[in-house]
Amino acid sequence: MKAHERLLKYVSYRTPSDENSDTSPSSRCQFELAHELVNELKALGVADAECDEYCYVYGHIPATPGKENATAIGFCAHMDTVSDYCDHDANPQIVENYDGEALPLGDSGLVLDPDVFPHLKELKGRTLITTDGTTVLGADDKAGIAEIMTVVEHINEFEHGPISIAFTPDEEIGRGTAHFNVARFDAKYGYTLDGSTEGEVQYETFNAATAKVYFKGENVHPGSAKDVMINAALVAMEFDSLLPAAERPERTEDHEGFYHLTAMSGTVSDAALTYIIRDHDASKFSSRQDTIKTAAKFLNERYGEGTVKVEIKEQYRNMAEVLESCPDAVENAKKACHKAGIEPIVIPVRGGTDGANLSFMGLPCPNIGTGGHAFHGPYEHISIEGMEKGVEVITALIKEFAK
């Protein structure tokens, strides 16, 4: 079975994770895909394939004779999707010989436009798989699963060392490694198949934190409010104005960090803002947290202690701290891209992957591209040719470590 055929099968399983749930996994629907993947792995000869109580799928492929001492490596992908645009089943559209021009997405009224997504010009002549404009596609990260499974199907056609497989839940809500068993995975290096353009080799992620900021007001009758009222909603607006406007996601790129307001609520009495804080540089990341705290201190001095309360929770760190001491993990991935006939694209992840936490859990874990684009919304799309290159890269990487 081809990788894209597997993708079309996997996206028929609706698997949104739920950030409001405190269970593991956060949504029971993820078990449906997990059990299907276990059955597939066993049918492909992965005898120990199993899904644990937390919805993590593990499997191992023994080395071919004579390669038992080769470096053990493994491949990971996540089963969940974002919950946005996921309230009904996906209806993938297949566009053969794409002409590189604006492409309507079903009857939704949305258009996949090269003026918005310039990389589309480079996909001219390929076969695209898109959404119908009403859901996510789910290529993030079911394309990664499909490419790994396709390699597993053909694993006996070439020599290889020990190979580990894992499929994880809840990556999209930052809990993809909450119950990951590194010892059970049993590999020296892991690779997440969770990137975008085929050929991406990523070993840098953001340092990441969430900041929840609470505001307590003084609510009195507006007719007698002079010098008494403290409007919590307005204090929240003032707080946001103290953060640098040029350092928002829509105004940053490459290694530039940001503050991102993701949620807000407020009345005169109470208000709340939620931010995510991101930066590749550890010292700048620390400074961003200090900026949040300094803004709160300033407003407490202006309006009274207790007006503003800040809670900051760190989520993950830049995996480059670990991977810089594992050059063969990155260099072999670059060599694999060359063997697959594509130039490696070494760029920082402007986000995070399971590999960030895994790297600090003792499993150095770069990220590799799958061929998908515009994840997390109805413009999500992937090319069949990109997926095929993804399969070639994985295969070449396995062979590289078996030398």
Binding residues for Zn(2+): 78, 140, 172, 194, 376
292-301: long-range contacts, CB 8 A cutoff, minimum separation 24: 292/211, 292/213, 292/243, 292/259, 295/239, 295/242, 295/243, 296/213, 296/239, 298/242, 299/235, 299/238, 299/239, 299/242
From the annotation, which residues make up the binding site? 78, 140, 172, 194, 376
Using alpha carbons, list the distances in angstroms from residue 172 to 116, 141, 291, 352, 353. 24, 10, 27, 10, 9
- Three-class SS of residue 274? strand
CA–CA distance, 309 with 299 (Å, rounded to integer) = 10
User: Burial of 11 by CB count in 10 Å (0-12 exposed, 13-18 middle, 19+ buried)?
Assistant: buried
Residues annotated as catalytic are 80, 171
Query: Do 91 and 134 contact (CB within 8 A), yes or no?
Result: yes
SS3 labels along 167-234: EECCHHHCCCCCCCCHHHHCCCEEEEEEECCCCEEECCCCEEEEEEEEEECECCCHHHCCCCCECHHH
Nearest CA to 280 out of 255, 259, 260 is that of: 255
CA–CA distance, 321 with 184 (Å, rounded to integer) = 24
Determine phi and psi for 22, rounding to 5 degrees: -110, 15
Determine phi and psi for 365, rounding to 5 degrees: -150, 85
Nearest CA to 10 out of 141, 193, 166, 132 is that of: 141
